[in-house]
Amino acid sequence: MDITVMMVDDEPLIRKLVKQELNERGAHVERGDIDGTELRHVVMTDTFDDEPSLMSVLNQGRLPDYLLVDMELQGDPTGGLTITRHVHGRHPGIRIIIFSGRFDNPLPTDSDRRQRLVEIGRVVTDALHYGASAFVSKNAMGGFSVENILHAIACLERGEQCHFNYPVMLTLKEAAEEYFALTATHAPAETISASEQTMLLLEAAGCTAQEISDHLHETEKAIQERQKDLSRRLGIVNKSAARVAKAIALGLINAADVKFLPR
């Protein structure tokens, strides 16, 4: 039995190339275990340029084994994630592969390293949460190739829960290394006091400066000044949410220790 694939990409040439190369070459993947294997042909049945046209077909009951989704659609950098969420929510049996050129290159320069790190982390985390099973690159050594797609399908058919092809893995690896380097570089030189830790935990629980002052037996103005000072030392704007988030990220407080008060 064939492995069926559908594709969503707003570039007509990409849709044509992928479908043509998959179908005309008689692409196949091996599936099985130590007790035996079988070759299954990979066939692209339909391609679409947007979500409505895709959902129209899926709602008719024509469901593929795999759906190849471009990350950027109609000018939306993460439009493919919206499709991923909608398809997985309605048809969880379809394995979704994110197809993109955005992760092909490692983090480029120091000036945009941090922004790229945030982008990669958010996109990958959201995609997996929405139901994606794999990330593959649109490019390969020497130009366009469907080998990345076939390799992803083969790995998923062998039972891998998720798959990332090499260019994506390289980018994620550098992003992780950069994350730990940034964390170490921006860790505060001093630790916070017990009362500052209590202040942050109360703040995380949604307490006002007045409520914190009552708990710590200080004036509200004194608490506000201490909050501003803590923000300065953490290197962030004087906002409660940012202060709490930075403290949790740096391990100064534990999210599990936050105790929410009845309201």
Measured distance CA(153)–CA(146) in Å, rounded: 11
| pLDDT over 80 (residue 20) | yes
CATH architecture of 3-184: 3-Layer(aba) Sandwich (3.40)
Looking at residue 142, its pLDDT comes to 44
Return the beta strands (E) in the chain as ranges: 3-8, 28-33, 36-48, 66-70, 95-100, 132-137, 139-140, 143-144, 163-164
Q: Where in the chain is the domain with CATH 1.10.10?
A: 194-257
pLDDT for 160: 82
- Taking 70 as the threshold, does the pLDDT of residue 263 lie above it? no
Most confident of the following: 90-94, 107-111, 190-194: 90-94
Q: What is the pLDDT of residues 35-58, one digit of tens each?
A: 556 788 899 999 999 999 999 999
At residue 1, the pLDDT reads 81
Two structure tokens written together for 115 = 């922004």
- Higher confidence at residue 113 or residue 246? 246
Task: Report yes or no: 26 and 87 within 8 Å, Cβ to Cβ.
Answer: no
pLDDT at 192: 85
Residue ranges, comma separated, of all CATH 3.40.50.2300 domains in the chain are 3-184
The pLDDT of residue 167:
66
pLDDT digits (tens, 9 = 90+) for 104-135: 665 566 666 667 666 777 778 888 889 999 98
Instruction: Work out the pLDDT band at 141, boundaries 50, 70, 90.
Output: very low
Which CATH topology does 194-257 take?
Arc Repressor Mutant, subunit A (1.10.10)
More confident residue, 95 or 32: 95
Is 90 exceeded by the pLDDT of residue 87? yes
Q: Give the pLDDT of residue 44.
A: 94
Nearest to 42 by CA among 17, 62, 25, 61: 25
pLDDT for 241: 76
